[in-house]
Structure 1
């Protein structure tokens, strides 16, 4: 048969098809991927041969010609119009052979053109129904140097066939040069292998693979930071990183394998399994392996050109305590057991597995070639020693490993650049090599002791990025630093609240009176004192007075339910409670046996009976400064004990970092039961700055807050993350006095605009580490390696470690749990030694005797620049609006409801991207309780921010295949629409109409009925403040936020509004009602829209 060498392919008449037969399972998979992404370059193989020899181009072209003539597989195309795809062997094909002379081009230009050719040729792909699915190009680049590019589709050939075919091409070439005939026996057709496959019985294979994958429900994740999905025209291609082991290193690996009845392949597979286990944090991992499938195939398979390989899942368990040798022997046995079933189609294995449809069995592919076809060719000597080969291929996986075994082993990692960056892959390849060397170095060691990091990496992670040592007063308490500041600036303004101003001397005097009185009540070091007060200057007097007495303050938010406040007082064992008269009248603390001190009484007491000088110093920096209660997973809050030492370290770092001076004007926004209030007070009161207390309505409204900050000429302000993100979207005047906005308490998603006139600084820190652990300035558009702004680096004298479950440091880019050490750690949990021992663990990396690390439960990763990226909670703990919440505590309370059998609380996002709690309840009996009933039940026991926005009632829990509750399968409520408490009821009067309209506007709901609950509609404390502020403006009355918490329905709050108006001015109330009616009619010209909306509910 003659082969026409025209530069185009064409299909002859119908009788040009010599035969047709089915595809192998591997071919079917490749055909699917090629058809689904025709220009992606997937499964296009490129062999680049550098030939340092004189060439006869005509003879080389004739050699390729003869090889195509001899092998039916090279004349095969694919047809997929029928139910089952077929491969068709053509009698005549036209091979594209391109020859270009680049000898006059500079070397750099030659390389540039070659790279461009390779990229374009890969993108070009093949018309799969038109053979031959291969092209050859020859580039003359030097007098005796050529580059041969052989481009073909992987559907045709595997690596073993690739080497055999090249060998045959150059044997024919040599024969044509010597003008001699080279007679070879007819090649055996690939069809014989397909027929052999079709006769196989797959029943035993099904049993084998079901057993192999039993209990395996999801592929091992590639946990490195992935890039966002690119636009269709922004594909960044694929990358390859490689390292070559020396001859000595390669020989050592072979010797270790041989001496222990292992294979080198087993060693390398083991290294990859360990790496995946360390990267993912899972002991049970899976990856794909390429099997040659010739040895267990049809007789004479080695002589057949074609695609014999199969890709199979290799599931490997990596138990930490097992010895390396014992484990590798098990892995070797597992590979041998697969041989009888290695021809099983991957699609069938997927169907038999417990991995859900639509998910891969594995995300990475491992291919070991020993000997590599290149090494086999070189072994022939002669001209083969002058020929260099580079193979470029692109499987349909985001990550793959190729190992080419030879005298010097080559390790390659290929990857999709749309998923992974080059630097991450360079590190991964280094870790692969480190693990491989670690396995071979000591087969008796435990798997947990196999190193992953290089010594340099370990030094950087443990020491370099934790070089945070800084001086601070280690012999002082916070109140002593305040007293020193009073001596320096006695007349400076310390506190501003509304029109009230308090100087440093006045604040000191008032706090001294409180301290002396507390001393008389036996308050001293490490004695907790409860303080339940509204945010005010008086509250700060109380806090300072407790510290001066030597005690530790325990903040109790008056908005908390009485039951929760009582628990905190009992758990802290506080003998004394500071409060205000209205709160004492509300809670009746004395009735429960507490010693109550009302600050009003102390303030009005005669001066001659109260000392204004400070009491004699008592205590040390290691004594407690405060105890803050946070949500607990067992259903009860837990008290975190913090010392003066950690607080002094925080305030000194803050003062140095933000250059705090007596000229600064700072804010106090946070609720004082939230630990951010600690940070808002003491760095400024020990530096002579003034603190301006923000009223509730202003702090809940981003526009109002921006205006307030500018009007008060604030220079430094902490703003909780959700509000901070809103302020970043607002216009700021040029020359705004604010120097820095400090944020924290939740994950920051936004970056500032270019024209923001201040520095935005993101902070992270658990209560257990004295408010702040890490910090990072956030620049506009400075995305770096992560989409969200990072949480930064550790602050002064704080150390951060990203560790796996065995307390081993994880590499840069790999998720792990954040552990915190250093001088700011809490003492532990109040009256809870078991939890303290569980969460505060011995320091595994040295340090002072008794040094500890706090186990945060937060999932983070190091970025290449040494910043930390926050990823989420390792358990199901969440943060909403800055409050840390254990859903388990809410679930524990819900389970106490008489109709509830089981409950589950999750976080969902509403249409505005705001986090909301959603409760799922399995009931003991029907009917289901109304949403407002469940909300009221919880509000009697929990703070508002812990009450879910929606309640759903599934009949049973959806389960994963291994019997766990499938949280992802629970239905998500539509939080962007109204969740009615009852059947919709329209407002009945103008006051209800005005209340409903304001709720509708602040909550973003089109229609609000009089029985709808504010909090069930997605309201929370910040939105409540906005609603109350607008109600006060609409009705010209004084109305507290507490009113909304106590009367959370439109009807209830409207009644409270009317009652307030009638109580203060009945005649004016009538006029206001008339104004409200007119305002409503101005916004609603016709009642029809409201009536129509009502019909839809």
Structure 2
């Protein structure tokens, strides 16, 4: 609404903002200075849309300390390689500003690097609250570019349109589009020009794919985010801040950015960029993928929309509000003269080039300005009373104590060694003086008449100080006894109703050595309180020992006064503002899923331990240097490293950590004992695999916002958010982090020396805590952990991984966080090499049936095969299979020829399998119970030349309609008579690389896939089995698994290879009915089948060994099996069809109560657990299982693309070796 005008500007109102539109550019500078003088604003914000910085210079002249610079592109900055008009004098103008606001982390880093100035990132809050319509459609809409011009990558857009003449393109010309650009666009018939619209939805509703090929440093791609919000895939360039705008979703494609500008003689003119040639190949490939693959398009559209919505939900003006709140405005403006000195915000920030006189003058002005600033109102004392409400922090501990009386997890123990002559009377008086001085130390807690908890202050009384004399013990035992007494004292519960809340004990080691044990309940103290307590005990002890009066000044208030004030102050608008931030920040809070050694108990026990660590000096200094460079504190840098560690351990990118803050911002509280500490919930976003530098920027903003809202007590936050009640864990977060500067106070008083001892507390409040102290040369501290969940070995490894991670960060913080090293070299070698040292010697030319043939020669009369009614000895089985093999060779069966086997379980079926192998072919098992369509599919897929079957199955196997001819051979009783008597002898042409069999997967995830296994792979399995199972165990192996499943390979060929007997059964549940069940010594089946045999008591007493595979194995089944006295060994085996039968094995201990492991790799097999970056995960951390070695299948029959996807090059093995990605 136009509301007026001046000589040079029209004035109107828009959204409650008064806007002055200056008519002529030449008048802008003077008009700006005039308005600043008249309006005298607290802050003047100047935009960087002025490459000459003339407006910034003008604003600084009339308001030298109250100008904030806002920039969104590096081209308009006067520094660095991207600026149009680089100039040191104009860069100095940036340094004179009170603050700089940028819109991306990229720009923040750029400003810091090229000007030395710090800045704050404020994401533009321009997107609205939603809901956002979804426009992205695979088969409709334009490939759109907004603001097509040279610097925005118009040549790439034009080349794409030329390469894809049938695809519809659209361009939206705006401020950068020249007449020449319009002409170039109009020359292509498949490009339509769309008019700019006030509503972005008018453009995006017509858009299928957005192209953003900018060649210069876009600070943040607003249009990119707008498109993603609406489910539109985006192809954007990799320069500037666009990768940030892409929010971790591809594509971010390469361009050759603008690197040179041609500057005209007139320095005030914008330079002309030199446009580099572009390679559009990656752009074309990406665009074609989106245009031709619907599934790819839909997946990217959904991922883009989810990422953008999550980002926009976190966009807030809170950082800007806090930034302005933290700035200190200058004193009222005075007349500006040449002698005026801009006032920096702190004395530490005084320009180094000032003379000593100027620095002194400036420091004086700052001091006077501080004295003139409004003073914080003092905390009032409460009316005289011996009772008061609890503070918010106390109230939560009170409720926890009511919930679990006697819980010692909130005990705070302190032990101080006293060396030198000790005056016990003076020490008692000092303790009594501290308790008299601090009401909170003589407070009890109970309910008032209204049922509300209240604190009641009791009169000062003597403090018991019992003496425990340990001097009679040998010197070598005194330290241990001291630790025992300290631990026992720390485990004594407090009675908050009766009191006291402070206990003291004195241990006497000898006449000049004592240890003072103090224990307080957390409801009356925090960590800072212990420093106050020791300081005051030392001060009062010194005075009492010298016969002097109490030298300590009176406390201005007591803790109960603070509690009353806190409840009055934290209400209304202040409370809502604090709560509003935390509700937004912690919406849909995840639970951190750290892998644990033990199952989480239903109720937290608070029992734990500590593991010490120390960061080396060189790494500490590198982290400090990184912090200075990034404009962060060391706390933020190490926190970002800890968040990275948790993300790598949990495979999550939404990481929640608690951190304590002292919450003693009021001067009255600095010397008080009390429960002031607060806990902030820091929720880190590690999505998109950012570099550590980028994560550090995110962490800084996260911490700054959290500190700006630290006044809300954690207890109120929990009450407001109402997380699901769970006695097994703390609410909101389960991991905490703290890093503080190590205090080095001297408590020595004359001949008495004091040394605080490390409290060996076994009480923990959280699953995991990292507590660190920054010392002059290093960082040291400990991991504190709950022993309900973690073993000491696990935490020791975690500490080592954290050390390695920090070293990797210090060496190269530009790395993506997924690439930062976690594993020490020794552990890496253990995972990759030592634990995969499974090599055994296997004869190089041996085939699967050779093992059987050799055994048949050794023991021709031994029983090889039986079904309980009929049997075949090794010699007879060898003769029959030789006869059939010669017949098959005569029919043309040889290496790489596939032969189908569709038979009911019988002796003839085993004869057929051996015959196919001896003939040189590979068998393809077909279950007669499969649907006819599946059987036909498998016959067609394999192009089987011959099918072994039985007469009664013929009608199920009619190949009519198939594309090939399959010859049938029926192996019914008497089949030998159908074979020609005169056949050529067997020819051997097979190699270990040739196929032995094809087993089809179930097809539950799609079309069945034939897994191709070679002879060499199967032979390795046979030799491994010989090293694990004894002759007695293999004497009678139950073969109850369909030959269509790879467990059958073990059941049939292992016993036949090493002289055992194969005992055929229809399935495992038929075992009790077998006439020769008492001959079974080994069962190889799935857990569900053995569970049924256990239930029916169907396991014969002859069974000594049970192999279980194919399903997860419950521990209770193992326990039930070992309850059978005849069962000596139970194995848990694992292996996908893509590896020969078994990949790993574990002999289960009858006394091990843990969930059964799948164990270690079988012979000549390598097992790797890898993360998304194909790097080994630490011990105990989940990863994706990859299998390598001699047992791997050749691949999938007739599925080369699927084979290439599943079987990948092995980065840890010999050239040409592969891994199965399971």
Given the two structures, how large is their TM-score scaled by the length of structure 1?
Answer: 0.70
Mapped pair 1:267 → 2:640: no
**Equivalent in the alignment of 2:1088:** 722
Deviations 1:1049-1094 (A, max 9, x none): xxxxxxxxxxxxxxxxxxxxxxxxxxxxxxxxxxxxxxxxxxxxxx
Shift of 1:251: 4.9
Shift of 1:758: 2.8
Please list, as runs of the form range in 1=range in 2, the aligned pairs for 1:429-828 lying within 5 A after superposition: 429-590=799-960, 595-600=966-971, 603-604=974-975, 606=977, 609-610=980-981, 615-632=986-1003, 634-660=1005-1031, 664-696=1035-1067, 699-700=1068-1069, 708-709=1076-1077, 711-712=1078-1079, 714-725=1080-1091, 738-748=1103-1113, 749=1115, 750-751=1118-1119, 752-753=1122-1123, 755-783=1125-1153, 787-828=1154-1195
Deviations 1:703-747 (A, max 9, x none): 557x954x22x344424333445666898999x654533332223
* Aligned 8 A contact 1:639 1:830 in 2: yes
Distance 1:257 1:307 in 2: 31
Mapped pair 1:223 → 2:588: no
Distance 1:348 1:586 in 2: 72
Please list, as runs of the form range in 1=range in 2, the aligned pairs for 1:199-218 lying within 5 A after superposition: 199-200=569-570, 201-214=574-587, 216-218=588-590
Please list, as runs of the form range in 1=range in 2, the aligned pairs for 1:968-987 lying within 5 A after superposition: none
SS across alignment from 1:760: strand
**Equivalent in the alignment of 2:774:** 405
Deviations 1:934-968 (A, max 9, x none): xxxxxxxxxxxxxxxxxxxxxxxxxxxxxxxxxxx
From the superposition, tell whether residues 342 and 754 of structure 1 become closer, same or farther in structure 2 (CA, over 3 Å). farther
Distance 2:1082 2:1049 in 1: 15
SS across alignment from 2:759: strand
Deviations 1:964-991 (A, max 9, x none): xxxxxxxxxxxxxxxxxxxxxxxxxxxx
Q: 1:311 aligns with which of 669, 679, 685?
A: 679
Please list, as runs of the form range in 1=range in 2, the aligned pairs for 1:336-347 lying within 5 A after superposition: 336-347=704-715
* Aligned 8 A contact 1:494 1:689 in 2: yes
Shift of 1:110: 3.7
Distance 2:985 2:559 in 1: 97
Shift of 1:768: 1.2
* Aligned 8 A contact 1:377 1:384 in 2: no
* Aligned 8 A contact 2:1086 2:1110 in 1: yes
* Aligned 8 A contact 1:732 1:756 in 2: no
* Aligned 8 A contact 1:41 1:125 in 2: yes
**Equivalent in the alignment of 2:427:** 60
Q: How many aligned residue pairs are there?
A: 825
* Aligned 8 A contact 1:513 1:610 in 2: no
* Aligned 8 A contact 2:866 2:1063 in 1: yes
From the superposition, tell whether residues 685 and 755 of structure 1 become closer, same or farther in structure 2 (CA, over 3 Å). closer
Shift of 1:521: 4.5
**Equivalent in the alignment of 1:51:** 418
* Aligned 8 A contact 1:190 1:304 in 2: yes
Please list, as runs of the form range in 1=range in 2, the aligned pairs for 1:350-365 lying within 5 A after superposition: 350=718, 356=724, 358=726, 360=730, 362-365=732-735
Shift of 1:68: 0.8
**Equivalent in the alignment of 1:334:** 702
From the superposition, tell whether residues 719 and 159 of structure 1 become closer, same or farther in structure 2 (CA, over 3 Å). same
From the superposition, tell whether residues 36 and 808 of structure 1 become closer, same or farther in structure 2 (CA, over 3 Å). farther
* Aligned 8 A contact 2:736 2:768 in 1: no
Shift of 1:335: 0.7
From the superposition, tell whether residues 17 and 770 of structure 1 become closer, same or farther in structure 2 (CA, over 3 Å). farther
SS across alignment from 1:767: coil
Shift of 1:381: 9.4
Shift of 1:753: 3.2
Distance 2:1012 2:589 in 1: 42
Distance 2:685 2:943 in 1: 49
SS across alignment from 2:675: coil
SS across alignment from 1:338: helix
Distance 1:468 1:65 in 2: 69
Distance 1:506 1:388 in 2: 85
* Aligned 8 A contact 1:93 1:132 in 2: no
Distance 2:475 2:401 in 1: 34
**Equivalent in the alignment of 1:86:** 454
* Aligned 8 A contact 2:543 2:550 in 1: yes
From the superposition, tell whether residues 18 and 137 of structure 1 become closer, same or farther in structure 2 (CA, over 3 Å). farther
Distance 1:625 1:608 in 2: 24
SS across alignment from 1:742: strand
SS across alignment from 1:391: coil
Shift of 1:304: 3.2
Deviations 1:747-779 (A, max 9, x none): 332231383353222222111111111122223
Mapped pair 1:156 → 2:524: yes
From the superposition, tell whether residues 732 and 822 of structure 1 become closer, same or farther in structure 2 (CA, over 3 Å). same
Unaligned segments of structure 1, at least 5 residues: 1-15, 857-1097
Deviations 1:191-244 (A, max 9, x none): 443314542312222332233234x44211221221574999xx7932122124
Distance 2:460 2:606 in 1: 38
Distance 1:385 1:527 in 2: 89
Please list, as runs of the form range in 1=range in 2, the aligned pairs for 1:24-173 lying within 5 A after superposition: 24-80=391-447, 82=450, 84-93=452-461, 95-107=463-475, 109-173=477-541
Mapped pair 1:854 → 2:1200: no
* Aligned 8 A contact 2:538 2:749 in 1: no
* Aligned 8 A contact 1:400 1:413 in 2: yes
**Equivalent in the alignment of 1:286:** 656
* Aligned 8 A contact 1:478 1:644 in 2: yes
From the superposition, tell whether residues 96 and 495 of structure 1 become closer, same or farther in structure 2 (CA, over 3 Å). same
Distance 1:191 1:406 in 2: 35
Distance 1:337 1:217 in 2: 17
Shift of 1:133: 0.7
Distance 2:439 2:569 in 1: 22
Deviations 1:83-136 (A, max 9, x none): 543333333455332222221123455445444434443443111123431101
Q: Which structure has more RCO (C-alpha within 8 Å, separation ≥ 6)? A: 1
Shift of 1:476: 2.5
Distance 2:941 2:749 in 1: 83
SS across alignment from 2:412: strand
Mapped pair 1:422 → 2:792: yes
Distance 2:473 2:1167 in 1: 55
Distance 2:973 2:416 in 1: 92
Given the two structures, how large is their TM-score scaled by the length of structure 2?
Answer: 0.63
Aligned alpha-carbon RMSD (Å) = 3.3
Shift of 1:272: 1.8
Shift of 1:652: 1.2
SS across alignment from 2:736: strand
Unaligned segments of structure 2, at least 5 residues: 1-382
Shift of 1:577: 2.6
Distance 1:328 1:851 in 2: 39
